Structure 1
Amino acid sequence: MLAPDSRGRPYYRTMQAGGAGVGDLDRGAARTGSPPRDEVSEPTMLGFLRRNPRLLAIQAVVVAISMAVLVWRVDVLEALRRLDNVEPGWALGGMVLFTVSKGIHAYRWRVLLGRPDVPLRPLVSIFMVSNLVNALVPLRAGDLVRIELPSRLLKLPRAALASNVLFVESLFDGLAFLVLVAVAGFVLGEGVRELPGLTIFVAIVALAFVVLVFLARWELPSDPARSRLLVVVPDSARERAASLLAQLQEGMASLREVRHTIISLIISVAAWVAEVGVYWMMGRALGLELGLGEAIVLMIAANIVVSLPITPWDIGPFEVAVTEAFVLLGGDRVDGSSYAVGIHVLLLAWITVTGVIAMFTLNLRPREVLDRRRLQADEDPEA
Structure 2
Amino acid sequence: MGAALGGVNAADRSSPYTRTVAVRAWLRRGHVWVGLGGTALFLGLFFWQVDISHFWQAMKGADYIWAVPAVALWFLAAWARSLRWGLILRPVAPLSLRALYPVLVIGYMANNLLPARLGELIRAYILGERYGVGKVQALGTVAVERVTDGLTLVGLLAVGAMFVEMGGVVKALAWANLGLFLGGFLVLSAALMKREAALRFMGLLARPLPAPWRAKVVGAWDAFIGGLESLRSPGILIGALCAGTVAWVLEAAMYYLVGKGFGLEGDPALYLVLAGAANLAVALPSTSGGIGPFEWATQQVMVGAQTSRGVAAAYAVALHGLLLIPVIIAGLAFLWATQLPVWATLEKEEVAQVRDRWAG
Relative to the length of structure 1, the TM-score reads 0.75
1:304 to 280, 286, 294: 280
Could you tell me which runs of 5 or more consecutive residues in structure 1 were left unpaired when the two chains were aligned.
1-36, 376-383
2:47 maps to which residue? Answer: 71
Please say if residues 110 and 328 of structure 2, whose CA atoms lie closer than 8 Å, have aligned partners that are also in contact. Answer: no
> Of 173, 178, 181, which residue of structure 1 is paired with 2:149?
173
The CA deviation at 1:59 is: 4.4
Aligned to 1:53: 27
Cα distance in 1 for partners of 2:342, 2:169 equals 44
Of residues 116, 131, 137 in structure 2, which corresponds to 1:154? 131
Residues 119 and 287 of structure 1: CA distance in aligned 2, closer, same or farther (over 3 Å): same
Distance 1:312 1:239, change over 3 A: closer
Aligned to 1:9: none
The answer to whether the Cα contact below 8 Å between 2:55 and 2:310 also exists between their aligned partners in 1 is: yes
Cα deviation, residue 215, structure 1: 1.3
Asked if structure 1 preserves the Cα contact closer than 8 Å seen for 2:43 and 2:295, the reply is: no
Aligned to 1:362: 338
Number of the residue aligned with 1:100? 76
Determine if contact 2:173/2:280 at 8 Å carries over to the other structure. Answer: no
Q: State whether residues 367 and 374 of structure 1, in contact with CA within 8 Å, keep that contact through their aligned partners in structure 2.
A: no
For the residues of structure 2 that align with 1:347 and 1:240, how far apart are their CA atoms? 38
**Secondary structure of 1:206's partner?**
helix
Deviation at 1:255, TM superposition (A): 0.8
Question: C-alpha separation between the residues in 1 aligned to 2:331 and 2:171?
Answer: 34
Aligned counterpart for 1:253 among listed residues 220, 223, 229: 229
Correspondence for 2:98 among 111, 121, 125: 121
Residue 138 of structure 1: how far off its partner (Å): 2.5
Q: In the aligned structure 1, how far is the partner of 2:185 from the partner of 2:284?
A: 20
| Aligned twin of 2:356 | none
Deviation at 1:109, TM superposition (A): 1.4
Distance of 1:79 and 1:150 partners within structure 2:
43
> Once the 2 structures are TM-superposed, how far is the Cα of residue 310 of structure 1 from its aligned partner?
0.5
2:321 matched to 1:348?
no
Kindly, what percent of the aligned residue pairs are identical? Answer: 24
Secondary structure, aligned partner of 1:196: helix
Cα distance 1:79–1:189, how it changes in 2: closer, same or farther (>3 A)?
A: closer
* Counterpart Cα distance in 2 of 1:218 and 1:169: 20
Is 1:145 the counterpart of 2:118? The answer is: no
Q: 1:372 to 1:333 in 2, by over 3 A?
A: same
Does the C-alpha gap of structure 1 residues 218 and 68 become closer, same or farther in structure 2, counting only changes over 3 Å? same
Identify if the C-alpha distance between structure 1 residues 304 and 48 changes in structure 2 by more than 3 Å, giving closer, same or farther.
farther
Map 1:207-286; keep pairs closer than 5 Å.
207-220=183-196, 227=200, 230-234=203-207, 236=211, 237=213, 239-286=215-262
Change (3 A) 1:284 1:130: same
Q: What SS does structure 2 have at the residue aligned with 1:195? A: helix
Contact 1:181 1:192 (8 Å CA) reproduced: no
Match of 2:86 among 83, 90, 110: 110
Give 1:130's aligned residue.
107
TM-score with structure 2 setting the length: 0.79
